[in-house]
Structure 1
Amino acid sequence: MVMIALGNSSGQSDGRVALVTGGARGIGLGIVRRFLTDGYQVAFVATRAEHVERALDLLGRPEERLYAEQIDITRHNDVRAVVDRIRALWGDIAILVNNAGVSPKRVNQDVPWLSQTSAEEWARVIDVNLTGPFVLMRLLAPAMIAKRYGRIINVGSLAGRAMPMIAGPHYAASKAGLVGLTRAAARDLAPHGITVNCIAPGRILSDLTGPPDAAVNRSALDRIPVGRFGTAEEVAHVAAFLASPIAGFITGATIDITGGEFAA
């Protein structure tokens, strides 16, 4: 674990402190940027130090409202320590966005995914994509219950909602599990003023998905009724709404942001 940046303490900020995992790139960075624009004090974590540094440069390093660390989300003691530091800085975390995720790439297109997925790779994907959100939800829920307010947003995927066309079985299983975890936690926490929802993006262009003219993206475009790819900013708009007080009657929902590729 490497500490990258530390925001300046500005006292207690009930309801205005957000934590975003996987916040250094793509959808996560879009959500961090939007939350800063909306006036939140935002902490984010990511796995690689160079990604955190680049994100801080892109965000302009507003240190009075921004805290960032490089951390492996599967190291639960380190996660707990990060949460403690955020609480010491700004008070309790009211908004949690579980965005961190890994999606291994297929090595051989002619060999079934299952044959290429080792038990170790399976365990790593489940640990990051599903166990990580569970651990953070369990860690933050008691303070949210005490305040009778909280917003938990899990970032799933189209791969967890429909037959996965690109992602592997471990990724699809983890994201489908995240939808189930969202519903279970929503039922459990609703009486305490806490909402738990899931966002399920489709093909969102970022440095993670590659250029629009990549073969995998051209193939995906044929399946999207609106005829274009989504953006991290569009996902961030939905996250901002779910994080707000006006979304208090929405819980246990999965909101698909797929350009019509998935329509339940």
Structure 2
Amino acid sequence: MHAVITGASQGLGRALVEGLGHAGDRMTGVSRGRPATVRSRVQAQIDWIPADLSEGEAASKTILSALGAACPDVLICNVGIWEPRAFEDDYDFLSDAPDMLRRLVDINITSTLLLCQALLSRLLTHRKSHIILIGSTSGRPHAGRPEVAFGASKHALNGMADALREGFRQRGLAVTCLHPGYLATGDEADASQIPLQDVVSVLRCALSLSEASFVRELVMPALADARF
């Protein structure tokens, strides 16, 4: 397996780079900068492509150029920003600046579209290839969250996945949407947070399936999340 993973410098992206695959597999992390220390827990090869996905088309071209002739079979789109006061008690959509809203949409939706388009021809050289879009429980219907732009951008990933799936199903493309809840960013998770390793474990399972099946969508809230 050769996986390209965006948003890989920290949080879930870094956990995926370090935890997915097996010995001999290749994990290519994409982020603006590479962490000072990063290592695979499964003896996979790790390399890095410095690219800023907020730059849209330019970032996709940078990634293609850095890959050279390599044809990855997995693309994990783990990119997303949210409003400055998102998930805070004083969040107020009416106070969000138009420029910020446009930037959020460009990064969360447009950059994902452009990257999928750029890498798709390489993914399709394999009998089975996989695109995994990292969404959020905030993007699910009746999610109970007020963050308008973030929720809308994550909800859009399901439509993106459906169209990609139908357009390239006969060419062996599997598309999975994973919608995790609140993720633990530190070493310890409280009852309302999901350990990053749980998400890694779920995606390891999804990527290990045969050519005959795939996981269409995963909603992964914390057990204590009363919204679900």
* TM norm structure 2: 0.85
Counterpart CA distance in 1 for 2:64 and 2:136 is 26
Counterpart CA distance in 1 for 2:43 and 2:67 is 13
Answer with 1 or 2: which has the greater Rg: 1
Aligned counterpart in structure 2 of residue 85 of structure 1, from 66, 78, 88: 66
Mapping of residues 226-237 of structure 1, within 5 Å: 227-237=191-201
Partner-residue secondary structure (3-state), 1:96:
strand
Instruction: Indicate yes or no: 2:117 matched with 1:132.
Output: no
Match of 1:6 in 2: none
Counterpart CA distance in 1 for 2:13 and 2:2 is 16
Counterpart CA distance in 2 for 1:40 and 1:53 is 20
> Displacement of 1:126 after TM fit?
1.1
Greater relative contact order (Cα < 8 A, sep 6+): 1
Q: Which whole-Å deviations, capped at 9, do the CAs of 1:150-182 have from their partners, x for residues lacking one?
A: 110000000000445566211101000011111
Instruction: Indicate yes or no: 2:37 matched with 1:45.
Output: no
Counterpart CA distance in 1 for 2:53 and 2:139 is 21
Partner-residue secondary structure (3-state), 2:210:
helix
- Preserved contact between residue 18 and residue 41 of structure 1 (Cα < 8 Å): yes
Q: Which whole-Å deviations, capped at 9, do the CAs of 1:215-243 have from their partners, x for residues lacking one?
A: xxxxxx7xxxxx45211111111222222
> Displacement of 1:109 after TM fit?
4.1
Instruction: Indicate yes or no: 2:99 matched with 1:120.
Output: yes
Tell me which protein shows more helix as a share of its residues.
1
Match of 2:221 in 1: 258
The alignment of Structure 1 onto Structure 2 pairs a total of residues equal to 224
Counterpart CA distance in 2 for 1:143 and 1:78 is 17
Partner-residue secondary structure (3-state), 1:43:
strand
> Displacement of 1:147 after TM fit?
3.1
* Identity, % of aligned positions: 19
Counterpart CA distance in 2 for 1:116 and 1:231 is 32
Counterpart CA distance in 1 for 2:25 and 2:188 is 31
* Large movers: runs of 4+ above 6 Å: 60-64
Q: Over aligned residue pairs, what C-alpha RMSD do you find?
A: 2.9
- Preserved contact between residue 76 and residue 133 of structure 2 (Cα < 8 Å): yes
Match of 2:50 in 1: 70
Counterpart CA distance in 2 for 1:180 and 1:38 is 35
Mapping of residues 28-39 of structure 1, within 5 Å: 28-37=13-22, 39=24
In structure 2, do the counterparts of structure 1 residues 211 and 233 end up closer, same or farther at CA, with 3 Å as the change threshold?
A: closer
> Displacement of 1:74 after TM fit?
2.9
Partner-residue secondary structure (3-state), 2:175:
strand
> Displacement of 1:66 after TM fit?
1.5
